[in-house]
Structure 1
Amino acid sequence: MSQSVHSVDAHGISIQVRSEYLAEPSNPAEKRYVFAYHIRIRNEGARTARLLTRHWIITDAEARVQEVRGDGVIGEQPTLAPGEHFEYTSGSVLETPVGSMHGSYGMINEVGERFESPIPAFTLAIPRVLN
């Protein structure tokens, strides 16, 4: 099952997320469910912006929460001029076949204004487990 979500913040930062279950590295017998998420960040605003930090809240079906904070994404802190985009893929491992993620990117624009760009909540689920 693949799910897509999209949001645009007040600064014109558009975030699209698509998640998918990865059966090959998963092992349900050992409560290991591996998911990939594909992110596209696009600057639809009027000012250049740089992604500085990430903050994720990952929740599994038993309400266990993992919180992840760090600099950049996949080792990068991309700068996006108006109209530019950046794409990357990362992943998450859960102990349950269903979960969710949401969070935010800490951004700074060309005039030094810092802001949080929300990452919309999306579902992590193995195929056919949800209708």
Structure 2
Amino acid sequence: MTAELESLTNKIQVSVNSEFVTKLTEQGTPLFVFSYTVNIENKSDQAVKLISRYWLITDGEGKEMEVAGDGVIGKQPVIPPKGHYQYSSGCHLNTPFGTMQGHYNMHTQKNDSFRVSIPIFQLAQPYCVN
């Protein structure tokens, strides 16, 4: 199952595509692995730098986990005007479905800071009732 959602904040468009990868068992506990690909499009007339990220991950039982840190996948990319940046990452849940949402903190060339919303998207094992 894949799902694509997008949002637009301050002329920065974020689209996310998620996919179920596999089900594992770790010490007798099921572990559901998901991947997601994020495309960040800069529709403004100036370069922006992605400084940090924040994720709120919620599993199918309502348990929440927050993840925050510098950049994405070890990088703080500068996205040129009318340019884009794409990366893939993943997460795991103890349930076959859940959601992710969050935001990026960015700076403009003039060092103005702003927050870009990442739309809430679903993580779901195929044929899973939620």
Moved over 4 A (4+): none
The worse-fitting range, judged by mean Cα deviation, of 27-36 and 57-66 is: 27-36
Aligned CA-pair RMSD = 1.3
Normalised by the size of structure 2, how large is the TM-score?
A: 0.94
Q: Alignment partner of 2:44: what SS?
A: coil
CA distance in 1, matches of 2:72, 2:122: 20
Q: Alignment partner of 2:91: what SS?
A: strand
> Identity of aligned pairs, percent?
38
Q: Which runs of 5+ in 2 are unaligned?
A: none
Give yes or no for the alignment of 1:53 onto 2:52: yes
The answer as to whether partners of 1:54 and 1:72 remain within 8 angstroms in 2 is yes
CA distance in 2, matches of 1:31, 1:115: 39
CA distance in 2, matches of 1:77, 1:33: 28
Normalised by the size of structure 1, how large is the TM-score?
A: 0.93
Q: Give the structure 1 partner of residue 37 of structure 2.
A: 38
CA distance in 1, matches of 2:129, 2:81: 38
CA distance in 1, matches of 2:100, 2:117: 12
Q: How many residues are treated as equivalent by the alignment?
A: 128
CA shift digits 1:77-117 (9 cap, x unpaired): 00011111111100010000010000000000011110000
